[in-house]
Structure 1
Amino acid sequence: MSTQAGLFSLDDLTEDDAGTRPGFRLHRLELLNWGTFNKSVRTFRLDGENSLLTGDIGSGKSTIVDAITTLLLPANRIEYNKAAGAQKKERSLMSYVRGFHKSARSGLGDTSRPVALRGPGTFTVVLGVFHNAALDKTITLAITLWATQEAGQPTRFYSIAEGEQSIKADFSDFGTDMAKLKRRLRNDGVAVFDVFEKYGAAFKRHFGIGSAQAMDLFHRTVSMKQVENITHFVRTNMLEEDDVETRIKNLLHHFDDLKKAHDAVLRAKDQIRMLEPVRDNAARHHTLTAGYDRAHEQREQLSPWFTTKKLELSEAHLQEMERAAVRVAAEQNTLTADVGRLNRELADLRDDIRNSGGGRIAAIEGELARLAIESGAQRERYTSYSESATVLGLFDPENQVAFDANAAALPGVEKRLAEANTELQGQRTALDRQRSEASEQAGDHKTELKSLLNRQNLLPGWLIALRQKLCAGTGIAESELPFAGELLRVRESEAAWEGAAERTLHGFALSLLVTNDHYPAVSDWVERNNLRARIVYLKVGENPTPRPAAPDTLAGKIGIKPGTPLREFLLDELGRRFDHQCCETMAEFRRYPKALTINGQLKGGGGRHEKDDRKELTDRSSYVLGWDNHDKIARLRSALEEAEGRMRTAADGLGRIDTQLGNLGRQQRLIGTVAAVAGFAGLDWRSTARAMEDLAQEKAVLESSSDILRELTERESATGARLEKASGKLSALDRRIGSNEAEIKGITEQIADCRESLAEAPLTSDAGLLAELGTLARQALESEVLTYKNTAKIESKVRDKLTGAIDALNKQVIRAAETTIRFMSDFRNKYPAETTELDASLEAAGEFNTILQQLVENDLPRFAERFKESLTQNTIHEIVAFNAFLDARRQDIVSRIGEINESLARIEYNPGRHIQLEPQATSDAEVREFGSDLRACSEGSIGAQEQYSEQKFLQVEALVERFRGRAGLTNLDERWTAKVTDVRNWFTFSASERWTETGEEHEHFTDSGGKSGGQKEKLAYTILAAALAFQFGIAAGPGNQRSFRFVVIDEAFGRGSDESAKYGLELFKRLKLQLLIVTPLQKIHVIEPFVANVGFVANEAGDDSQLRNMTIHEYRAERDKRGS
């Protein structure tokens, strides 16, 4: 804002009217076809002097005032006839051009329409001649208008001539060709404008009007009666509005750059947040897979490792057995000699006993020996029979009767056991079949899951493997040989038809799509190779012509993968082959030649009907359409767990039945034990015992009859004991030798078997794996020692443990893969641009990690640094500059009010007192909060130590987003921005009436409320005079001769008190302003002393206003003449 030396000089405020009148003043106003000034030119001569425009109500005074404002203001800013109290839109530019002067009833009865003096095609001219005597310079402003239609806005152009013009001389004799008039004016050196903005800027430049508000104040002065609100008046008329829009745009521009930088930081952080789980889960999957593979290797090497250990232990034991065999053979020879010698010695003693009467004794001893053997056998058979009978539910064989009863019941028991065995065997066969089927299904599910985790489609694994072989053999990329099922899926809105669509399209979905480029290579490879499977491939034509599928057909319910180059071909195939009508009812189904029901019944050409319910329609594990297999993976995983559950259930059942069969087998063997006893005599050990007691008594009697016989008998007994002992040792030794020989033979065969096994499956040379197997074996042995006999048991124990670990690891691997792929898919869905060439598969884990590494090590630091730089060096600097600009404007306003007060101090408002304007900081909460927020954004933000600050960004963002306009609050924020960035709104203003001598305040007021009408008008004239002097650039001394001095006051002096009117006129006179006063006749006596010219307007018929020019002297003479 420029600073003026002073609003009024002492020269301006003198009452001396001598000398040249300063500034541009209106000398002449001409009207042609304006309102009711019709047909001929009407001229109002002011000659740069204060003038009075008067006449009766409705004569046309306000029409002349509106003509002047139309010359000086854009039509869209003018409220025509406002000073006369007209309603808004009662008059318009078109109403003046057409000459609307009354209303007539329309043909519709109750409505009326305006009556025009002129039709379209008639032109209107308003011309004003302004002269600056000090500069001896004349400027003519003119506006030329014409209506091209009955309503709307008239067409117009504006002109400025540096010299005097008139309508008759310069705006006549051109017919109706406005272009001709424009050319003539331009040829005469007149500036012609089609828009007011350029015209207004030009005449303001000529008149020395530097303020954009000056002409607005001029317009308000026309109808101003009093200052109702000082703050509003000062803001609007005495302080310029600043162009903050450009600065806000610059701030928004810098913030947009900052926002982009901030968004880049947030985007990078979000990408890192989403990629870290991909990295972690992919690493976990890798670790688990390595563990799973290692456990497989360990399990595969169990047999060779334990076989090697068994071989080593067996060879060591064989060597020990062979050494022991040598020692036993020597011992056998010694014992054989001892037994021979003792046999000979015993034979000699027995001969001596026979010769001494010991024959009967010998016979008794022989019988006792035989009976002892028989009694032992009987006891053994009795115990076995008795235990077996108890288990079988038979009697204990205490006598012949019990034995016979058992013999009679035995066939029934045998039959019952046989029947139970048959039933259990049947159950076992069924459970074994169930376990086999479940095991096979689990294996299939595991294979399929492993395949699905490495791709995104739902196709069977064997088919994917077949394509891989084909692509490997032809060198074609798999992505260039898609199956139809990978590119199709049922639309989400048609989910109810998914089962029927999957069943119908199953064969087509498994068809390989081969383009012309790949057709020769594919067909040759298929021909050369035994596929051991079935494959269907379709040759894709060059220019398919698909027809649109109806929504109610199967083809219409199928969506195609976006971006596939085979879209047209697929649309054609679907439209031709699968245009079956999807029918809700059987009546519909029977009506169409090709139809499909929601339950999967298919009707094709030729009357063929088909419904295949071998698989459930809702069995999603067999679905093949789509390019997202997450659901199928989840279902297969569930199916795998269900199959493994059935395996465990079947295994538990088999264990229970095998236990029952084992018990039955033992019972059947016990039947053999019972049946093997032919008669009760074989069990009657009690009778045998009694016979032995009798013989022993007899022997005792015989032995007591001879001492020699007793000695011989004792010697025989001792020798027999030694012989028995030696023979026992020899027999035991023979058995040991036999056992050793059998064991040596078995070990030898075992060693051969081990060597043969190791030849077929050799032990690994991986030292780490061998150490791991050793650890597993030691854990399984616990406190045992590994021998050649328990290797199989320990191996089984370790194998069971490894199998459990492998199954657990397999589940963890599957879950880790699913989790990794889910995180990959989430990232791809959110950031498709970064992952156009990446699949959500485990093979892509490295590429995802590369993106993460790039983000962490490069992108995020770079984005953060760019954000910090943009925040501290651009946006915050812009906010600081913006804040400084607004603060400078605040200081300018304070200074400007000070300048105005200096001039107001020279105007005596009341005797001994003057008016001062007082600015106060506004209490408006929004303005104060804005100032606080603006300072918060800029404080502590400049300097080399400034760090990245999310809080600072959020402060700036909250402020800038209000400048921009928040969603749904745009209008509210626009009003808020206009309010808080207009520094004029930072102040409220009041007036203080002070004693000139002491400066003491006499009265303080913020508006004119509570004052009399005259006091209100007086305050209005005082503040208005200060505002006009400020806005029109009236400065001290002769240096500022280029100024605008013309003011129109419409009826204001006619409505106030005579005293206040005189005060105002005196004040404007001292400011050397030219006044055009528009007032009714009744106030002329007050105004008359201050005017030099009078324009008298009359319109007796209402359709033709006339304007008469008189000097004040002529007016007085005529008035006096009429009065006399």
Structure 2
Amino acid sequence: MSTTTPVSALIPRQPAFAAGAPAVGPGFRLSRLEVLNWGTFHRTIWAFDVDGHSALLTGGVGTGKSTLVDAMTTLLLPASKIAYNKAAGAEVKERNLRSYVLGYHRSERVEATNSTRPVGLRGSSSHSVILGVFTNYTLGIHITLAQVFWVPDANTGQPDRFYVTADEPMSIATHFTDFGTDINDLRQRLRRGKATIHTSYPPYAKALRRGLGIPSDQALDLFHQTVSMKAVGSLDEFVRERMLEPFNAKAEVDKIVAHFNALTASHDEVVRAKAMIAALGPIVEACDSCDGIQREIDTLQSRRDILPVFFAQHRERILRRRDKQLRTRIQELVEHQRRRKAEQQRLREMADTLQRRIDGAGGEKLLRLDVSIENLGRERDQRRQRAATYEGWLEKAGLKPVTDALSFHERSEQITEARTRDAQQDQRAREELDRLAVERHNNTEESGVIRREITSLQNQRSSIPSHLLDLRHSLAAAVGISADELPFAGELMQVRDDEAAWAGAAERVLRGFALSLLVPEAHYTQVSAWVNGRHLGLRLVYYKVPAHTPAVELPQDRDLLLGKLEIRDDSWGRDWLAAQLRSRADYLCAADMDAFTR
């Protein structure tokens, strides 16, 4: 755990509240400055207690006076304005924030590069803290400012930092140590302690100026200029440039003149407006009178427009009252009808009673009993027959007989479940039967198509599908020409007899082109019109063959697919077909995998 060590070079002074001591002036004054791992102040917490009074910090060269001054400067000013070690008269960039955080204290020579590099007291695993407590002794309030630094990479880059402000006194030993190894744990502890965390200088500077009552950045700039000042050449120039706000007299005079001209123009506009108002007064009065008449007209018009609504409302009230009277009369009639029905029912019951009394005096009662006994006997026999039938079905189904109402309900549930299972099985069987019927229908259709295709192949020399041949016959008949004048490309070419082994490969490569219809140029317009004028239901590719085509011969190289093909000499589109094959069948044939690999 770190300990707090006072700076030994601090000259003793009177305590702030000692008897007879001068009172501390108003405003915020430095109460205590603390540093941890700042420059050569390593590991131990160093405290510089001022307690609001003036103090003198002395010591030899290199004892850390400028280090504490730079700590105070870092605490108050942005990084872009700080010139470190300026109080000791050092050159620019002799020290920087990285050197203070890592604790550079000497240099060592690198033999490999014949250069020097600084040696630090600390690495990336430590953190540095600067803390200052400012107190207004008149009001008894405190402001704490602190900054925490750490270096993610000890070899390159500037340190990371965050800023802390609080409205109560804080110390490094209490609030900034013993938090673990993660800097985020320190952030969370400070937030729980009601401190405010800032990630950049602008919000921190705003809180700093608001807390210390600093009206502008000029005061901090003046502090930066005077904190390490050694001599003043001209006091007037120093006060004018450093302490007084800049004032542009010419701009202010121009502003006054422009304001006077604006006031003059405004006065002229007011005078002109008054004259216009005086001239337009009668017109305004006439307009007001006209507006009043128009408002009266609008009022009368609105009243006239409302008259239908008024009468409709009055009629609605009358009809509502009449409806209420009619509903009351209806209720009275309904009640009267109900009483009449009740009286009628009472009279009927009285008549029935009298009839029963009359029947009771004779043998009518015995006759009714005989009829009832006969009916009940027939119902008993029917129920026994149904029970016997039910027991027979239970026995066939392998179920126990019914002995009481509970067993009857159990058998009913079992029968319901069995019916459900049978219905499901019947449904599945019907679905399977439908599926098989569909498959049978599809197989029948496919068999018919295959039979027609076989018959077509037996009746022709080529392997052109029958549906394309039928389409060609229809097309030729519509155009009025012979089907032979519209050949398919596959009918005009074939694999040489001595190259029959390559027939399958050639057919797979050229199948799409072989099924293409060749149309002479003279008939192309009629063919195109017939094809485009109807839905064919299949894919038909056809090409226009010019009447005159330059002579083209197929190569005789048997290693090429072209050399394995031959075209009918009597075909009218031989040269056009040869030219097409030169681009479509220009493949090298490999007889085995070794040839294919080469």
On whether the aligned pair clears a TM of 0.5, the verdict is no
Compare the two structures and name the one with the higher helix fraction: 1
Higher RCO structure, 1 or 2 (CA under 8 Å, sep 6+): 1
Query: TM-score, length-normalised on structure 2?
Result: 0.37
Greater gyration radius: 1
